[in-house]
Amino acid sequence: MLDKREYLIILKDFYASLLTDKQQYVLELYYEHDLSLSEIAEEMGISRQAVYDLLKRSEGLLHDYEAKLGLVQRFLAIKSKLEKVCTLLEDDKWGTDDDRRHEIAGMLREITELL
């Protein structure tokens, strides 16, 4: 499971181009460079409260975009299924287990549908 920081970084990776340069920059400084609100305020030449407001507004926009488009949810679902397929394929008990082959084939069909 992703923590808030990891999830917001992924949201930013998907939807950053829909944000202003200033919104992208404050998200980058806060989540990727781990700067405090005060450090960001000093860097950007604005108040700490302005940084907080900009950060919260930007986070809200990212969540709104995800709610409408669902790209990150689909990405995470595909990633999870692919990881499970890899685990099954790497399992030493592979042999000629037809049930396992059908399970993998089913997961690959689900992934194809997500794409």
- Integer Cα distance of 25 and 108 in angstroms: 38
Instruction: Identify which of 51, 10, 7 has the alpha carbon closest to the alpha carbon of residue 29.
Output: 51
What's the mean pLDDT in 59-75?
A: 97
**Whole-structure pTM value:** 0.78
Q: At a CB cut-off of 8 Å and minimum separation 6, what does 88 contact?
A: 94, 100, 103, 104
Q: What class has domain 4-69?
A: mainly alpha
What pLDDT, in 10s, does the model give residues 23-55? 999 999 999 999 999 999 999 999 999 999 999
